[in-house]
Each structure stands twice: as structure tokens, then as C-alpha cells.
Structure 1
Amino acid sequence: MGQSVLIAAFSGRALAQSARRAGFEPLVVDAFGDLDTRQAAADFRVVDGAMQRGFNTKSVVAALEALATAARVYPIGLILGSGFEDKPRLVVSLAKRFRLLGCSPETIAASKDPATFFATLDKLNVPHPETRLTPPDHPVDAWLTKRTGGSGGRHIRVFRAGVASRRRRYFQKQLAGERLSIGGLFAPGGAEFAPTRQWISPSTQNPFRFGGAVSMPEIDASLYRRLAEAASQVGTALGLVGMASFDFIVANGQPHLLEVNSRPGASLDVLDDAHGRLFAGHIAACLGTPMPAAVRSNRPARAMAVLHADRGPLTLGDIPWPDWSADRGTPGTFVPRGAPLATAFADAPTADEAQRLAAVRLAELEDLIYGHSKS
């Protein structure tokens, strides 16, 4: 039996599975409690309504304390996933009750505060799209409006001229280009990086919704160095610890940094290995213990693609889930239109092949789920 560790996220599935691979006992608080999470977790609690209303201090603390009290061995700390970047007071409150295994509340807040973050990029001469805290006057180019602390692309909207400034939103010039991300693991002795390619799955209501990611994209060596150098500079300046990810858009050969996720992100699904090295490395970085050694492998590229309930709302039935699927909801779960429904994985020799296979499986998974559910 390994050490137990608390995990809190909108979806704790990827972190729980990585923790298991690394030999830890994950204790999970999330918004879904899907079949995969229940299988990976030593224990879990579901915060009802968190995806619709966000996490709140009372329910999250109660769930975490219940898990910690019931654990076989008291957990070594708490890892935060998605769902906390826009709630700095909640992060501070959690840090007072549990040992945070990850970035400090101050670092999380700085990485998601547009005034602080983009000023840091300017100081480091790291390119980024033009960004404002107030709506642009008479814009000629296309602009976006984003929610401070938002993640997953659901918070992004196309800016319409004449729209008044809103609290906790900022404005960024839209760039066209390739979406690349750098997954980082920051430790006292240095940092290591791995790239992924990402794409969106647009809908009418959410035109920039996250669609998926794939490992091992073919990237020019010079471009990769620039991405990694920018990530290293920014991560050091912000004081990142453990896993983090950096989202770029490459326009006309120039990478522009869009945001930093100062926590484990979606790329964990495609970058982690069979031994949970990223999770083990995250724990080591946070505790100041030796990092696990990197193991060379000839594993193929891996893609993950998110399926959304775009055919309409449904109640999940008893579905014969394929082995390559994840985030599998329990029978009787109601899924609103457009909400995340499941995930498809695919391995292939190249990133392009893996992404194509994931798309095929996504369509197959959609037919399967809707065919075994009630609309």
C-alpha cells in the first residue's frame, strides 16, 4: 500500500489514474464521480452542481476532510486540478487546512490575473497577443473576451463592439495559427518539457471549447526551443512547482503565449507513462525529494478527444464502454446538451494518425452512447 494523497478537480479521473500508476492511493473530490474515477480512487466524494456553479469552500472542505479522516493513512497533501483558478480565496482557505502539493496560492493567482501575468510576459519579452483589461475602442481586428481564471475554452467569446466592460473579464486580439502546448514539470533542480498539439471542438454556444490533444507532434527543432525557453522563463518568474502547462498559438512562425495553467492539465492524459512518472515527479518536486528517473521508450503518439453531448441532453444507460474510452458516466446520469460526455483515446505511430483515429472513435462513441441512453 502506498501513501494516500488528496485530489480535487472538476474531473479527478486523469490525476487519480496517474496516482495509481505511480503507487499512490488517490482520495478524490470532483464533480462527476464517473466509473473510471471510482475504479482508480481509494475513496471519493462528489460535489453536486460543481460544474454548473463552481466549487464553494464549505462543500469542498467538508468532502476533503471526510476523505482525510476516513483514510487508511492520513494523506500527504492535496493536489488541485481544474476548477480552482478563478477562486483564489478558496485556494487560500484550502492551503490553511491541507498541505498543497503544487503551486502556492500566490502563484496560482498571479498566473491567472491578466494584469500581473501579461506584465510578466512583457518584462521577459515573451510574445503574446495584444491584451487589454478594458474593451478595445473601434477595433479593426477580431478580438476575444475571456474570463479571468477560466479554463477549457468555454469561457471565451468573440468580442462584439459596443459591449460594456464586465467584471473579471479581459480582452485579447484574436490570432489564427497552430495551437501548441508545452507540458512542464518544475523541480528545484530544473524543469523538463514535452509538447502537445491541441484543437478545439466548437459549438454555437462555445466556439473555443477544448476538443483534445495529442503527444509527439512534429515540431521544428527551432520552434520547440523557443516554446520551451519561453515556458522556462515564465515558469521560473512565476515560481511554478510541479506540473504545469503553457498554451501557445503559432502565427506566421511566431509563438504567442496565451495562458499558463499552474496545475496538472489535460496533457497529463497523453504525456504520462505506464508508471505514472509525471505524478511521481510532481510529488517529488513539491516535497523536495529526488525526481524519478526518465525511462526511454518507443511508445507511440497518444491522442485524447473529448466528446460533448451536442446531439442533445440525455440520461446515460447501461453502456458497453470500449477499452479506449474514459470519463464513463454511471447509468442514470443526466448530461445536459453540450456538456462533456466521455473521452476517446488512440495510439498510433505519428501524432496525425493518432488524432485521426481518435476522431473516428469519437464518432463511434457518440453513436454508442446515444444508442444506449434516453434522450
Structure 2
Amino acid sequence: HPAILRRIAAGRPIIGNPPEVLRSVRRWKLLFSDLRRAGFMVPETILPRDGRRLDDKRRWLKKPLRSGGGHGVAFYQGDKFAGHQFMLQEYIPGRPCSASFVANGRACVLLGISEQLVGMHQFGSYDFRYCGNILPIRAASDSGALAAVLEQAEQLAAHVTHRYGLVGVNGIDFILQDRQVWPIEINPRYSASMELIEQAYDLPVFDLHARAVLEGELPDFDLRAEISDRAFFGKAILYAEKAAVAPDTSRWRSRGIRDIPATGERLLRNGPVCTILANKGSFEETLEDLIRRAAALKEEIYA
């Protein structure tokens, strides 16, 4: 919300991207046209007033123009644009991922790549709703695939940093199809996977953010040297499947749970309950541990 940021920041320095940068990376038509001209693979995107006909051979997603976390995203069923608040985007089959980087407006350093957990019923999610991340991506066990993804992510981050003057920590959401990266969104802010970067690589993310914005300083950090295929870090957001009351949560923190509700707090259906953390030796083991922990919590909550 660039306008809100501008009002809040009136007469004050912003330790982050200014309103005009936020607005620029949300001009979807210009953003995707720019990325395509720069040689990146991007999904076809149609805005409400484009007047273009759909290619019936492709599948399309209906996405809110202003939203986040996958809220309101669904497969397009031929219905009309509701109040011109949606765009249509070509559906790219693959794994939803995100790349995090820190920038000073001219250069950037890649900090991590994670796979997003989306729409998983085990966590009370649905459709394309975001429900967590696992870092690094599954391709970490395939050196060739990992190298290809890292190279594309670095090129993307460098391009958008230079093109839009991004500063501080930022993220790029993308679909990984085989070894091909398809960018779908630029997040000019701290994003959900960055706490996993702090755990995995012992990086003080907010300090890196502030130094990059205020001093133009970038860290001496090489993600290629730090990624391990034997250490995976995961987080999952557990959503309430129905209205409930939080049980005794006094010991939840010691069990790797964060964002903990107070004992006796009302839990609203589809609202977030807590965040679950896990750390195992493989992607699959980390995901299984998150699912196991979620199942145990649901037994407590709905008992």
C-alpha cells in the first residue's frame, strides 16, 4: 500500500523501499513486459481492461490485483472479473518457490531459496493459500539442478534490483518447472521464509536489511557454499479448520511452536493458530515432521 506508507513516512526516513518502488513492482503489465524483454520466462498475464481473448488451450488462474499469501487465488472457471479487482495469469505447473536477497539499489546478494507449502489440508489450508516454507528447495540434492536454479535466481534478483532500485531485504516468488524459473511476483519487503534463513545460515537478516538501506553495505555471503543437502529447515502455519478454543499452550514453545495463542483464546475458523518449526536431514523428513506435529496439535485443539 504505497499511499499508506507515504502518509506514515511523511517527514521521516524509510528504512526500506520507498512508496514509488512499491508501486512500480505492482504495475503488473509493465513488470512482466520488462522481465520478458530481459529474457526471463514469465506467465502470460491479462488485466481486466486488456480486452484480449483467452487461449483456451491454457489453464488460467484468477488472482486478486491486491492480495497476498495466495488469498483469493483460484482456477478461472469462465466467470467475469468481479469489479475489475482480478487479473488472469497463465497457470504454470511446478513447485512454488521463493528467493530472498538483500540489495542496495545497485547490487544484491542472494540469501536463500525455499519451497513454499501451498494449499495443504494437513495444515488447514486450501486452494493456493500459503501455509509455510522449507529451505532449501528439494533440488539441493541435485547439484546440476541447484546450480541452474541459483543462476536464474541471481540473475532475476540482480535485474529487478537495478531496474527498480530495490533496497534492503526482498523476495521473488517463482514457479520451478523442472529446472526453469518462472517469476510471478516481486515482494519488496521482509518475507515469510527469512526466519528460516536466519536459522539455517546464522544471518542477522534485519541487521543486513538496515545496513543495506542506510549504508549501502552488502554481506560477504556465498549461498552456493552454504547450502547443504543434509540440513533442511521448515515452518508451517496451522490454520483452524473450525472454531475452537486454544488448549493449555504453556509448553508449546519448547516443542518448536511459535506465534502461540494464549490458553483459552478463541480460534476462528480459517484463522491462523500458530507456526510450527522443524529441522531434519532431508526435505521429505522435514515435511513429514511438520505434518506430524500439526496432527498432534489438532488432536489437542479439537479434543
TM-score category of the 2 structures, normalised to the smaller one: 0.7 to 0.9
Structure 2 residue aligned with 1:284, among 197, 211, 233? 211
The answer to whether 1:237 aligns with 2:163 is: yes
Structure 2 residue aligned with 1:341, among 267, 273, 287? 273
Q: 1:287 to 1:308 in 2, by over 3 A?
A: same
Structure 1 residue aligned with 2:135, among 215, 226, 236? 215
Structure 2 gaps, min length 5: none
Alignment of 1:203-352 (within 5 A): 206-217=126-137, 218-219=139-140, 220=145, 221-273=147-199, 277-288=204-215, 290-291=217-218, 294=221, 300-310=231-241, 312-319=242-249, 320-323=251-254, 324-352=256-284
Higher relative contact order (CA 8 A, sep 6+): 2
d(CA) in 2 for partners of 1:226, 1:259: 15
Structure 1 gaps, min length 5: 1-86
Identity %: 22
d(CA) in 1 for partners of 2:125, 2:286: 28
Residue in 2 that maps onto 1:362: 294
Alignment of 1:101-120 (within 5 A): 101-120=15-34
d(CA) in 1 for partners of 2:182, 2:9: 32
Q: Is residue 183–residue 243 contact of structure 1 (8 Å, CA) maintained in 2?
A: yes
- Give the letter aligned to residue 308 of structure 1: Y
Q: What secondary structure sits across from 1:96 in the alignment?
A: coil
Return the TM-score normalized by structure 2: 0.84
Q: Is residue 153–residue 206 contact of structure 1 (8 Å, CA) maintained in 2?
A: no
Q: What secondary structure sits across from 1:232 in the alignment?
A: helix
Q: 1:231 Cα shift?
A: 2.3
Report Cα offsets for 1:306-334 as digits up to 9, x if no partner: 11111x01232432314200110123432
Q: 1:197 Cα shift?
A: 1.1
CA RMSD across the alignment: 2.6
d(CA) in 1 for partners of 2:296, 2:218: 40
Q: Is residue 170–residue 189 contact of structure 2 (8 Å, CA) maintained in 1?
A: yes
Return the TM-score normalized by structure 1: 0.69
Report Cα offsets for 1:118-169 as digits up to 9, x if no partner: 2221232221111010375473322111112321111312212142353332
Q: 1:171 Cα shift?
A: 0.9
Q: Is residue 245–residue 265 contact of structure 1 (8 Å, CA) maintained in 2?
A: yes
Structure 2 residue aligned with 1:190, among 107, 118, 134? 107
Report Cα offsets for 1:231-260 as digits up to 9, x if no partner: 221232121111111111122432111111
Q: Is residue 124–residue 234 contact of structure 1 (8 Å, CA) maintained in 2?
A: no
How many residues align? The count is 284
Alignment of 1:128-167 (within 5 A): 128-134=42-48, 136-137=53-54, 139-164=56-81, 166-167=83-84
Q: 1:275 Cα shift?
A: 5.7
Q: 1:175 to 1:275 in 2, by over 3 A?
A: closer
